[in-house]
Amino acid sequence: MTDYERMKSKITKIENMAYPELCAMFAELFNGAACPTNSRTLRNRLIYKVQEMHLGGITTSDMQLLMSLIENDGIPQKQSSATPEVTSVIHYVREWKGKKYDVTEVSEKCYELDGKQYKSLSAVARAITGTRWNGKLFFGVTR
C-alpha cells in the first residue's frame, strides 16, 4: 500500500467515525482534548491533519507571509519596489440565443458593448434582445 493509499484509508475512516471516536483521535493528534464542537468541524480538522502528515505542511515562505500579515494588521509587505497597478473593471456576461455578450462597465452610468456605449444595463439588454428588459434582471445582477 502506498503512502497516498494509506492517507486515503485514514480519511475514509475519519469520515465514518462517531463523535466520541473523533474526539479521541483529535486528542491523540493534537495533544489535547477537542473543544466542544460539531462532528463536521472535527472531521475537517482531522482530515487536514492527516493530509499534512502525509503530504507535508505549510511551506516556510507561506508561514513567513502569514506572520507578516499578522504583524502588520493584515497588510502584506511588498517584497519588490515595483507595485502593480490594480484596475477595477466590471464585466457582465450573458449568452442570448447562442451568442455570448460581454459588456464592460466604463463608469457607473456608462456601459460598453462591441465598441458602442449605453447609458444603462437596460439599454444594453434592449440592444441585445430587441425588447425592453430590466438590465439587472437580464444580466443576473444582485447588487
pLDDT tens for residues 9-43? 999 999 999 999 998 998 888 888 777 678 888 89
CA angle 29, 23, 20 (to 5 degrees): 140
With cut-offs at 50, 70 and 90, classify the pLDDT of residue 126: very high
Residue 117 pairs in a beta bridge with: 112
Residues 92, 94: Cα–Cα separation, whole Å = 7
> What does the alpha-carbon distance between residue 80 and residue 66 come to, in Å, rounded to a whole number?
17
**Which letter, b or e, does each residue of 27-36 get, where b requires 16 or more Cβ atoms within 10 Å of its Cβ?**
eeeeeeebee
The pLDDT of residue 86 is above 70:
no
DSSP 85: P
Tell which wins on pLDDT, 80 or 40: 40
- In this predicted structure, the answer to whether residue 110 has a pLDDT above a threshold of 90 is no
Q: Which residue has better confidence, 134 or 74?
A: 134
